[in-house]
Structure 1
Amino acid sequence: MALSDNGSGAVNTFKLLTFNTWGLKYVSTFRKERLVAIADRLAKSDVNLFTSSTSPPSIVAGTSAPVAVSPPSSSSDVDDYDIVALQEVWSKEDWEYLDRVCAAKYPFRRWFSSGILSGPGLAVLSKFPIKKTFLYRFPVNGRPSAFFRGDWYVGKSVAVTILVLSDETTVALLNSHMHAPYAASGDAAYEAHRSCQAWEISVIVEELKLAGHAVILVGDLNSRPGSLPYRILEIDAGLKDSWELLNGQTDLELVKSMDPWEQIIRAATTCDSILNTWRAHRRPDEACRLDYALIDSNLLEPVQASVRFTEKIPSIGSYSDHFAYSATFRFKKKVISDSEATATTVLATSRSGSNEKLLQVYFDLKDLVSEYMETTLVWQRKWRMWHFVISFAVTLAFLPVITVVSYRAPWSSILFYFFGCIIFVTGVVNGMISFLFGRYELRNMRELILEVDDRLNYVKAFGQ
């Protein structure tokens, strides 16, 4: 087993996996076959993972060419995780299979189902008892008009699971899948939405730290190292990137020039790797790291971290359009006793970096959200409302036209009626999106700016 104790029954180390499974029903290629393969692999601890055609090469220092290594004689503990956090498990059928085959190995399981058309696709498998769970749906999460993207309809969220590792030790596992970027920049990048979501997560993290839990945030955060959402979680929430704690800060420009296997082994790239069969059409320099395990480094330290599920399923391809990320953690000895761990002490040690860095994060967040509100949000509300007004006017104009043409060419009145209905319905829908959703998004973003202002004023006056 991956977990270990110190002889007194208290767990010292545990192994975690986070994996975006790409489980979109009717959309994802070979969804059912891949999810079954993932479930079967997680349920067993004696799977021979590597073959001569799929074993990752080792990278020899000073060379750019990979050198093949022999497959390990035994890999019985490779997939022996203590905690598994999954994203994009959107089909109930897939979860029921996961739940059934993993029951023996993971006695404590949870699938989060709250959403509009479907749930957020988040699931947890654990060898440790689950004490409490709750789901927080992000108030800022794309637009209902982007139905072809689906983020708003699935209700992107952060799922919080309190795990009991011993009588005195609890882990707060936050499993999240933040809004996806659909472009590198501009409106379709949705950077403001992910930044708002990172802020919401940061608030939750602070409360969980105050409650005395060891906090771990995992999942597909759809944010590259150094981006604003990443900095909010690192500097404001005070979470540390487990990969960077072990391997140093990620040089994104250097990653672009690496060999594809180097990108995985040395930079933990989990997305858009050309070694992934579902992303083989991408450019090598597009490979990036979007899947994380961010931790409270005051209580936890990483022992090992690596990219998993890089192998291929025979006759199908990669397990998902992402690779998985795994890390082993060890608990640190408590420096402060529970009686001394006052709220002030916890808050003073929870955030990372100087006040200057913290203030810069707040200014950047305010600027980004304000710019989105003043440009994209205002434009979206205006054109949708004008669409409603013009559609209503055109529909009224169609009424006498239908009456007149019904006497001269009765068949054409049906066409006018049909197109008039389409114009009216789309206009009403856009009008409702402008008046209801537009106001909802605007008020949520205004509230966030006020929250950031509160933090800014406090930091300026009293420090962290």
Structure 2
Amino acid sequence: MSTHVQGDSIKLLTFNLWGLKYVSKQRHERIAAFARKLRSQPDYDVVALQEIWTDEDWKSIVDLCQDVYPYTRRYSSGILTGPGLAILSKVPIKRTFLYRFPVNGTPAAFYRGDWYVGKSVAVTLLEPLYEGASPVAVLNSHMHAPYALTGSSAYACVRACQAWDIASVAQTYSEAGYAVILVGDLNSRPGSLPYRIMQSEAGLTDSWEEIHGLTDADKLRQMSPEDQIKLGGATCDSTLNTWRADRGPDEACRLDYALIDNTRLRALDASVQFTEKIPGVGSYSDHFAYSATFKVLAKSNMLPSRPPKSERLQIYQELTDLVAEYLSSRNSWQSRLLLLHFWLSVFVFIAFLAVIVVVSFLAPWASILFLFFGGLVLATGLLSGQIGFLFCRSERRAMTEIILQVADAARLLQDR
């Protein structure tokens, strides 16, 4: 099979493959079917993946597709696992880089796992398609998930901070002359603050909207499930997805993107892919894939256009207010609650020691139980103390840094 990319265009696929070990349903069958289709229909020049969290899954994809996609990279840095980001390419990979988000949820939410996988943005620099072409930088990311539409479980502040970091990385590569393509499951709806930050600060445009026009959330909710995909670009929570069939028809949304620098790239086509079902299994993932084709323009010193000053300043204020409110409420009370648990556990353990001394004379066997439960209380308290003292301080400093960076950007903008 030919792996050579011809001409001045590049076709990209981004897909969250839902590859959680022990959790994702029929993971082996789904990912094997995806790899087989990718090999048999090698239409894409670059494939950016999210939620590839096991060595076994990645190896199965690479082994099957290596003659089609000779250039591959899976990103590794994380705590318990890597960030689940990977790329397959027909275009030679020149250099790679991984930026882990300093703000990424909390280790106390171990049942959610975002903090433990080390959510990041993975940068893959590709060789130019032709002499004089703008070199392409693919930024692949999977931002912190929302577990509710509102409240602390929405993690809106966390994603806003991550969007600021992504925009900073994208802006750096754009100013260096790269044609930036930001792809992935960004867990942010069109028009949300993270979405606007990435567009405003990095100067990126939404490839879907370049082809299909602005997304109207109200109209999207009223469309049929088929039109939500075809006309609205819905990649998540569609009732046509077998793993999300229990969702309401109005919950379908667009979370998977390719945001581009339109001074060096021109969107030619955009569509939702992998919407069909695997016989006897179901949908390929709990998301649908997103594909876009771009014409890579010649090298240019032009920088992407930005929104008006007033709009950017408004975004800065929204971000600053959101972070400040988070620090004064959630970060503050979480730290106090965790440290309170620590001191209470120390007090209880000391009290248990006194009880053990008395009980050892009356019922020696019972002292073992008190020692066990006292040790358990102390262990959980020590863990809470570490999170409250170390993590909460680290998060506060990381978010304070975001506020300072936003202030710097606002000051520069106002002085112009």
Q: Tell me the TM-score normalised to structure 1 length.
A: 0.87
Distance in 1, Cα, partners of 2:156 & 2:266: 30
Q: CA deviation at 1:419?
A: 1.4
Identity %: 56
In the alignment, which residue of structure 1 is the partner of 2:86?
123
Q: In structure 2, which of residues 65, 73, 80 is the aligned counterpart of residue 102 of structure 1?
A: 65
Contact conserved, 1:111 with 1:123, CA < 8 A, in 2?
yes
In the alignment, which residue of structure 1 is the partner of 2:294?
329
1:122-201 aligned at under 5 Å gives the runs: 122-164=85-127, 165-169=129-133, 170-201=135-166
Distance in 2, Cα, partners of 1:213 & 1:2: 23
In the alignment, which residue of structure 2 is the partner of 1:44?
40
Q: In structure 2, which of residues 180, 186, 204 is the aligned counterpart of residue 239 of structure 1?
A: 204
Secondary structure at the counterpart of residue 72 of structure 2: strand
In the alignment, which residue of structure 2 is the partner of 1:452?
406
Distance in 1, Cα, partners of 2:298 & 2:387: 52
1:358-369 aligned at under 5 Å gives the runs: 358-369=312-323
Quick check: 1:438 aligned with 2:377?
Answer: no
Offset from partner CA, 1:415-450 (integer Å, 9 cap, x none):
211211111011110000011111110000111110
1:310-321 aligned at under 5 Å gives the runs: 310-321=275-286
Secondary structure at the counterpart of residue 326 of structure 1: strand
Q: CA deviation at 1:352?
A: 2.2
Distance in 2, Cα, partners of 1:277 & 1:405: 58
Q: CA deviation at 1:351?
A: 4.2
Secondary structure at the counterpart of residue 240 of structure 2: coil
1:30-429 aligned at under 5 Å gives the runs: 30-45=26-41, 79-164=42-127, 165-169=129-133, 170-332=135-297, 336=300, 341=301, 346=302, 349-429=303-383
Q: 5+ residue gaps in structure 1?
A: 6-10, 46-78
In the alignment, which residue of structure 2 is the partner of 1:74?
none
Q: Comparing 400-409 with 438-447, which one deviates more in the overlay?
A: 400-409
Offset from partner CA, 1:333-378 (integer Å, 9 cap, x none):
55x5xxxx3xxxx5xx434210111111111110111110010000
How many residue pairs were aligned?
413
Secondary structure at the counterpart of residue 20 of structure 1: strand
Q: What one-letter code is carried by the residue in structure 2 that aligns with 1:443?
A: R
Q: CA deviation at 1:130?
A: 0.2
Contact conserved, 1:3 with 1:15, CA < 8 A, in 2?
no
Secondary structure at the counterpart of residue 57 of structure 2: helix
Secondary structure at the counterpart of residue 147 of structure 2: coil
Q: CA deviation at 1:2?
A: 10
Contact conserved, 1:206 with 1:350, CA < 8 A, in 2?
no
Contact conserved, 1:108 with 1:127, CA < 8 A, in 2?
yes
Contact conserved, 1:3 with 1:12, CA < 8 A, in 2?
no
Q: What one-letter code is carried by the residue in structure 2 that aligns with 1:129?
A: P
Contact conserved, 2:35 with 2:65, CA < 8 A, in 1?
yes
Contact conserved, 2:349 with 2:374, CA < 8 A, in 1?
yes
Contact conserved, 1:309 with 1:319, CA < 8 A, in 2?
yes
Q: Comparing 283-292 with 398-407, which one deviates more in the overlay?
A: 398-407
Q: What one-letter code is carried by the residue in structure 2 that aligns with 1:250?
A: T
Contact conserved, 1:17 with 1:83, CA < 8 A, in 2?
yes
Q: Comparing 166-175 with 353-362, which one deviates more in the overlay?
A: 166-175
Q: 5+ residue gaps in structure 2?
A: none
Secondary structure at the counterpart of residue 136 of structure 1: strand
Q: CA deviation at 1:174?
A: 0.2
Contact conserved, 1:236 with 1:351, CA < 8 A, in 2?
no
In the alignment, which residue of structure 2 is the partner of 1:70?
none
Secondary structure at the counterpart of residue 267 of structure 1: coil
In structure 2, relative to structure 1, the CA distance for the partners of 1:269 and 1:435 (3 Å cut) is same
CA RMSD of aligned residues (A): 1.4
Secondary structure at the counterpart of residue 411 of structure 1: helix
Runs of 4+ off more than 3 Å: 1-5
Distance in 1, Cα, partners of 2:33 & 2:313: 46
